[in-house]
Structure 1
Amino acid sequence: MPTKGNYVAGRQVSRWDTESDNVDIQYRHFDNRESPGLAEFFAGKKGTILKVLLLFVCFLIGLIIGYIIRRNIHEKYISPSTDSSPVTVSSIYQDYDPAVSQMLQRDLEDIVNIEDHIKTWTAGIGLSAVGSTMKIVMGAHDMWQYFPLDGLTWTNYSVLLSYPFLQSPNRTTIAMETPNGTILWNANFNISAEHPEQMPFNAYSPEASVKGKLVFVNFGRKSDFGILHQLKVPINDSILLIKYGKIHPANKVKHAEENGAAGVILYPDPLDFANNNTEAVYPSTWWLPGWAVHSHHVRYTLMGDPQSPGYPSLDGVYHQPNLKENCLGCPGIPVQSVSYNDARSLMRSINGSSVPDDWIGGLGVAYKTGPGHSDNRLVNLTVIRDLVQRTISNLVAEIKGQYEKDRYIIIGAHIDSWNRGGVDSASGYAVLWELLRTFSFHTKKGYRPRRTLKFALWDASKYGHVGSFEWVQEMEKEIGLGAIAYINLDTVVRGNYTFFAESSPLLFDVIREAASTVKCSDLDYQDMSVLDRWINTYRDPDRPTQPKIEALQGDSDHSPFYYYMGIPSFSPAYMYNPKKYPNLPNYPAFNTLEDTKEYLTNFTDRNNYTLHIKVTQIVADAILRLSDSALVPYNIQNIADVLQQGKSKLKKMNYTNVNSDFLFSEIEIFSTKARLLQMNLTNLDKSKINEEILYDINDKLIQLPRIFIVNGGLPEFPQYRNMLIAPHPENLYETEVFPGILFAYRQGQVTGDWSGVRIQQSRLAVATRQASNNLQSIMTVLQSLH
C-alpha cells in the first residue's frame, strides 16, 4: 500500500491508491489557464465546423479499431470442447536431475562425520527422559541453528513412561524356592548395580509379585499355546518361560495373559542368538554372551501417550488419571527378561512332556513343557516399576521447497535407546545428521528442493514410537494434506550381508531406482550397483529380476505415518542374512548393553563406516526423487497388486452367507484403471504439461493412499486406520492385507455372526471405488493433453 508522502509525479495511481487515505496529489497546476492560441483556433463558425469534422474522424477511427480488435478476438477464441484442451502450455520448473544426485552423493562420503556422530551418541545411556537423550537433542539443536535452514522446531510432550525402580533396581527379582519359601536360586540379570539406568527391564510391565510353577511355551505364538492345550498342560497361574524371536514381545505377553498365566519371563535362546553355541560370543564375535539381557516394551496398544489417546500430549491438555493401575494397552501380568544362562538354570530339571523337535533350543538341558520341577520348586517373579509422567522432546528441521512449499518429504530417526545404542539408534541418527547437513548447505550453493523437506529426531521410540505418534497427532491436518512420503532411519546397519528395505507398495520403485545409483561396497563386486548386489543376495521369489522388499513392521516410527495416516513410507538398512538366521528378530545385541560403538565397528560395519555412507547416499537419492520429481513418483500398479493379493486370500476363506462380488468387481475396475494410468504416467511427455496441470495430477496422486484410511480405526485397533495393510494382530513384526475384513472373519468364526465381515467388505469396496474415481480424474487430465 502506498504510504503518505511517497507519491511520485507521473506514476500511475491504481484504484487501490485512489481509495486509500495515503495518497498525495499535486494541486499546483489546477489554476493554470488554457493556452490562448488553441482557444482562438476553435472560435466562431469555422471552429464549429472543424469540431464536427474532428469528431467524425475520431468516430471513423474508433469503428476501424473496434472492427480489428473484434476480428482478432474471434480468430483467437476457442469454443468449449469435451477434452478441455489448455490454451497455453509452459514447461515445468524443476525435475529430478541425476547430476544433482551425484553432486549430493559426493558430499556424503565424510567418514569422520559419521564416526563423530556415533561417538557422540554412544557416550551415554539413551534412556528416554532420564538418560542422555536431552543432551543429544540440545546438542543437535545448538548445531543446527547454524545450518541454513528455514525452520527449526523443538516440541515437548508430557507422556507416561515406564522405568525400573531407579532408587532400588535390585528389588526386581526372579527366584526359585521350595514350597515353604526357602530360596534355592536367584537370577543375576543386573550386571551393573552401580548404574540403575542400565538395569534390563520390560517397559509397561505392571508392578506385581507372583509365584507359580514354570511352563515352557517356545516363542509364545498362539500355535505354541495350542500345542500346550493339546498336551493338556495347565497354564493358569503358571509362570511362563518364553523365547525371544518370531513374534513381538508384546504379543507373547498378550497371548500369555489371555491364557491365564500369572507372569512371563523372556529370554534369548542360544540356538538363535549364539548360533547354537558353535562359535565364540561377544566380544570375540557378534553373537550374544550368556550374561546379556534384552530390554523391550510389552505394551499392546501403540497409540502415543497412554494418558491422551487420540490427541497430542501437549502442555495443558487433559491427561487421564490413575493410569498406574489402569494403563491403556498395558499388560496386566508382570514381565521380566533374563539371560540365557539364567534361563538354563530355570529349565534344568523341569517336569512335563517332551516338546516338539522345533521347540528344542541350545540351552544344553532337556526341553520339557512343565509345569513345575521334579522337586516341586516354585518360581517367584517380583517386578518393581516406576510408571511416571515425563517430558520428551522432538526436534524438526525444515528446508522449504522452491515451488511446492506445502508438500513434504519427512525423514526421521529416533534418539532414544535402552542402552548405549551403537546400532540402535546411533546409526540412524548419524545418517540423518549427514543428510540434513548436505541438503541444507547445498541451498547456499544454489540448489533448493522442489518440495519441502522435514528432518526429525523422535524421542521415546523404544516405548512404542511415542514421540513420532505424538507429532503425527499434533500435525495431522497439515501432513494429512501435504506429506508425500516418510523415510524411517532406524538401525540402518544391522549387518553387512545385503541391502534391505521395508516399504509401503507405492515407493517400491523409488527405493530400487535409488539403490541403482550407488556403487556396491563389497570389494569383490565393485562393478555392481547396490541394486544389482541386492537382487543377487535377496531376490524376490515372485519377481526374480527384482530384490525382495519387505512390508513395514508395526513397531517403529513409520507406523503412525503409514498405518495411521496413510502416508507412504520406507525404512532402509544393511542387513545380516535373514534366510540363514530366520529366528533372529534383529542383530543379536539388539536392545542389550552389548550394543555399543565397538560392537558396530567390529561386527556390523567393519569397513570404516562404508555401509553407513552407502545407506546415506541411497536415501539422499530417494529424497531427491521424492522432492524434485515433477510427477510424484508413486507406482500405483502396486496398489492394484495389493488388492489382487487380498482378493486371492478372501477367495480361499470359508465364508458363510457373505457375498463378495461387489468388492471383487471394484478391485477389477481399479486394477484395470491402475494398469492403464501407470503406463500413461510412465510414458508421459512432460513438455506437454505446465505447473498448474502438474499440481492437479500430483494432488490426486497424494490423496490416493489416504482414500483407504478409515476414521475411527480398524476394529479393536484404533491405532491402525489403513484398510489395505496393517500389522498382524498376533504379531507386530508381520502385516496382513485387508486387516479389517480378516479381523471380522476371525470373530465370525467364533461367534457365527458374519455382519462384521459384510461391513468391512463394504467399506473397502466403497474406498476402492473412490480410488478408481481418483484414477479416472487423472486420466481425464492426461487425455486433455492430446
Structure 2
Amino acid sequence: LSIPLLSPPPSPCLILSLSPSLYYCAQGVQPYPDGWNLPGGGAQRGNVLNLNGAGDPLTPGYPAKEYTYRYNLEEGVGLPKIPVHPIGYHDAIQLLKKVRMNIHTNNQVTRIYNVIGRLRGAVEPDRYVILGGHRDAWVFGGIDPVSGAAVVHESVRSAGKLLRKGWRPRRTIVFASWDAEEFGLLGSTEWAEENAKVLQERAVAYINADSAIEGEFVCVCVCVCGGGCYMISKLGSGSDFEAYFIRLGIAAGRARYTKNRKTERYSSYPVYHSVYETFELVERFYDPSFQKLRAVAQVRGGLIFLLADSQLLPLDASQYAGSLTKYAHTIAQLGQKHTDSLVKYGVSFDSLFSAVENFTVAARDFHERLNTLDRTDPIQVRMVNDQLMYLERAFVDPLGLPGRPFYRHVIFAPSSHNKYAGESFPGIYDALFDIERTANPKQMWDEVKRQISIAAFTVHAAAMTLTPPA
C-alpha cells in the first residue's frame, strides 16, 4: 500500500478499505473457511511507508547499527503524517454511514534480527550466491512468508545433507532469513547497506524466497540475468530483492506458483495479509499434497546450486540484449503517442536504439568468444565470469532515478506511480507519465531528453564491459 505524505489539518486519519472486486473476490469461490476468498470482515494489512528503497526511515542509505546517526521522527524518510487503519468491506459499508473514533499510536525504535548462514565455496569462496526470504508476517502468514521460509529451510537442509557426503559448492552460498520485511523491507535493506561494499565486489546473484504460492496455475521463474529455462522479466519491487537488484545492481530472480492472470484478475490472492492466511488455508485449498511447494523448492534450490556450482556462470547477455530491444521499442511507442510534441521539442529515441544495437553486437561477440574459451585456464574462466557477474552493475546509475536516489537501476525499477510493478526504462517512463497535463511542457520534454541520454549512455557503457580486455 502506498499512502501519499500529506500535510494534514489537525487530527486527521484515514480508514482504508480495498475494493472487493479488485482485491478479494474470485468468482465462484466461497469466503473462508468454506473457500479461499476473503470474508467481508477480513482486512488486508500492510505498511504505508513511502521509503523508495531507503530501508530504515531514520537511517536512509546507511545500516541501522548502534553507532549510526538517526534522524528524529519528524525528519524520517517516508513516514506517514496521518494514522491509517485497514478494515473489511462489510465494515466499510457501516462506517461510511457515520464515523467516530479515538486514535492511539506509539512510535518506537525496535531491534530486529536477521539470520545469516554461509556455506564456504571450495574454488571461489569470494563469490557469493544468496538465497534470502523473510520470516516476519502480518498475523499467521500461512503463505506470506511461511511458504517461502519453508523453502529456504529445505534448501539449507539439502545443502547440509550434501555437505555431509563430501560435496562443497564451487562458490560460497549465503542463506538469509530476513526480519521486518513487512515494515518496508527493513531487514534485507539494512544488511545490504551494511555489506554494500563487499556485495558489490563479490555477489553473483540474489534469489528471492518470499511467498512460494499465490495460485495453482503454473510455476513461473523470473530472473533479470537470463539463461537456461527461465525468462528475463521486470521484477518490480515489494520484496527483499529490492536493495540487491535495484540499488546495488546484483542479478536477481524468483520463482513461485502463480494464478492464471488471464482469467483470475484479482490482485495477489484474496486472503493476502489477513487473519485468514493460515496453514489450514494452504493445506485445504492451495496445496493439499504440498507438491507445489516441493516444486518451488526444487526450482529455487536448483537456481542456487546452478549459480554456485557451474564453472561458467549461467547468465546470458544475449537474452538481456533481446529484452533491451523489446523494452526500448515499448518505451519509444509510448513516446510516439505524442508525435507532434516529439517533433516540436526535438525529442528522438535514436541514441537509445543505437546503444541497444551496440549492446546486442557486444553480447553476441562475447558469447562467440565463450565457444573458444580454454576452460582449463582458471584465469580465463574467472575473467569471463567477472564480466557476466558485473554486467548488471553496469546498469546502475550512482545518482539514482529522479527524486529516488536509492532506486539506481536504469533499465528495471518500479515506476514512481506504481511501486509494486516493474517498469522498463523507468526514468523515461516517469518523465512521459502525465506529460500532457504538465504546466510546463518544454521543461518536461527536456527531462524526457535527459532521461533518454542517461539510458543510452548506460546501455552503451554496459556494452563496453562485454568487450575483450585491452
- Normalised by the length of structure 1, the TM-score is 0.55
Letter in structure 1 aligned against 2:461: Q
1:766 and 2:453 are equivalent in the alignment: no
8 A contact 1:483–1:567 mirrored in 2: yes
Q: Does 1:712 align with 2:394?
A: no
1:496 paired residue number: 216
Alignment of 1:666-677 (within 5 A): 666-677=355-366
* 2:17 alignment partner in structure 1: 267
2:398 is the counterpart of 1:648 = no
CA-to-aligned-CA distance 1:369-389 (integer Å, 9 cap, x gap): xxxxxxxx6544654322210
Question: Counterpart in 1 of 2:60?
Answer: 309
Letter in 2 for 1:292: G
Alignment of 1:51-66 (within 5 A): none
Taking the TM superposition and a 5 Å limit, the aligned residue runs for 1:568-647 are 568-584=251-267, 586-607=268-289, 609-647=290-328
> Which residues of structure 1 form unaligned runs of 5+?
1-248, 348-376, 513-547, 781-786
* Alignment correspondent of 1:286: 36
**Shift of the alpha carbon at 1:675?**
3.0
Code of the residue aligned with 1:331 in structure 2: it is: P
Deviation at 1:420, TM superposition (A): 1.2
User: Which of 670, 678, 681 is matched with 2:367 structurally?
Assistant: 678
Q: Is the 8 A contact 1:493 1:574 kept in 2?
A: yes
8 Å contact kept, 2:352–2:456: yes
SS of residue matched to 2:164: coil
Q: CA separation of 1:746/1:587 partners in 2, compared to 1, >3 Å: closer, same or farther?
A: closer
474 and 287 in structure 1: CA distance in 2 versus 1, 3 angstrom threshold? same
Other structure's SS at 1:692 match: helix
Query: Aligned with 2:468: secondary structure?
Result: helix
- What is the match of residue 41 of structure 1? none
Partner of 1:544: none
Q: Which amino acid aligns with 2:37?
A: W
CA contact (8 A) 2:32 2:39 kept: yes
| Aligned counterparts of 1:443 and 1:306: Cα–Cα separation in 2 | 40
Residues 648 and 482 from structure 1, CA distance in 2 versus in 1: closer, same or farther, beyond 3 angstroms?
same
Residue 147 (structure 2) aligns with: 427
Q: What are the residue-to-residue correspondences of 1:562-573 with 2, within 5 Å?
A: 562-573=245-256
Give RMSD over aligned pairs: 2.5
For 1:773 and 1:435, locate their aligned partners in 2 and report how far apart those are by CA, in whole Å.
Answer: 37
SS in 2 for 1:411: strand
Partner Cα distance (1:294, 1:686) in 2: 53
| Alpha-carbon offset, residue 294 of structure 1 | 1.6
Residue 768 of structure 1: how far off its partner (Å): 2.0
Corresponding residue for residue 365 of structure 1: none
Residues 600-623 of structure 1: CA distance to partner in whole angstroms, max 9, x if unpaired? 21112111x222211111222211
Give 1:460 deviation, angstroms: 0.3
Q: Give the residue type in structure 2 aligned to 1:600.
A: V
1:327 aligns with 2:8: no
> 1:260: Cα distance to partner?
10
- Whole-Å separation in 2 of the counterparts to 1:660 and 1:274: 41
- What does 1:448-459 align with in structure 2 at a 5 Å threshold? 448-459=168-179
Matched residue SS, 2:201:
helix
Q: Any conservation in 2 of the 1:412–1:458 contact (CA below 8 Å)?
A: yes
- Cα distance change on mapping 1:628 and 1:721 into 2, 3 Å: same
What are the residue-to-residue correspondences of 1:417-496 with 2, within 5 Å? 417-496=137-216
- Confirm whether residue 665 of structure 1 aligns to residue 346 of structure 2: no
What amino acid does structure 2 have at the position aligned with 1:582? R
* Structure 1 residues 697-776: aligned runs within 5 Å: 697-746=384-433, 750=438, 751=440, 752-753=442-443, 754-776=445-467
The within-5 A match list for 1:338-417 is 338-346=87-95, 379-380=99-100, 382-417=102-137
> What pairs up with 1:3-42 in 2 under 5 angstroms?
none
Query: Whole-Å Cα distance in 2 between the matches of residues 476 and 589 of structure 1?
Result: 36
Q: How many pairs align? A: 456
Q: State the alpha-carbon separation in 2 of the partners of residues 647 and 496 from structure 1.
A: 33
Contact 2:254/2:300 (<8 A) preserved: no
The residue that corresponds to 1:101 in the other structure is: none
Distance in 2 between the 1:663 and 1:270 partners? 42
Tell me the residue number matched to 2:237: 554
Taking a change above 3 Å as real, the CA distance of residues 601 and 307 of structure 1, as seen in their structure-2 partners, is same
- In the TM superposition, residue 710 of structure 1 has moved relative to its aligned partner by 1.0
**CA spacing shift, 1:632–1:258, aligned 2, 3 Å:** farther
Structure 2: state its 5+ residue gaps.
none
Q: Which moved more, 1:633-642 or 1:443-452?
A: 633-642
Give the deviation of 1:574 after TM superposition: 1.4
Question: Distance in 2 between the 1:378 and 1:260 partners?
Answer: 20
Residue aligned with 1:671, SS: helix
| 1:646, distance to aligned residue in structure 2 (A) | 3.7
Report the secondary structure of 1:385's partner residue: coil
- Tell me the amino acid that sits aligned with residue 591 of structure 1: H
- Equivalent-residue separation in structure 1 for 2:175 and 2:276 (angstroms): 29
Could you give the per-residue CA deviations for residues 214-244 of structure 1, whole angstroms, max 9, x where no partner exists? xxxxxxxxxxxxxxxxxxxxxxxxxxxxxxx
Give secondary structure in 2 for the equivalent of 1:388. Answer: coil
1:441 CA drift (Å): 3.1
Q: Deviations over 1:132-172 (max 9, x none)?
A: xxxxxxxxxxxxxxxxxxxxxxxxxxxxxxxxxxxxxxxxx
The one-letter code matched in structure 2 to 1:661 is D
Deviation of residue 689 (structure 1)?
Answer: 4.4
Larger Rg: 1
SS of aligned partner of 2:413: strand
Task: Judge conservation of contact 1:498–1:574 (CA < 8 Å) in 2.
Answer: yes
C-alpha contact (below 8 Å) 2:414/2:420 kept by paired residues: yes
- From the superposition, tell whether residues 474 and 747 of structure 1 become closer, same or farther in structure 2 (CA, over 3 Å): farther
Q: TM-score, normalised by structure 2?
A: 0.90
Shift of 1:715: 0.6
**Aligned partners of 2:434, 2:22: CA distance in 1, in Å?**
34
Deviations 1:378-409 (A, max 9, x none): 54465432221000011110011111111110
Q: 1:784 maps to what in 2?
A: none
Which one-letter code corresponds to 1:342 in the other structure?
A: D
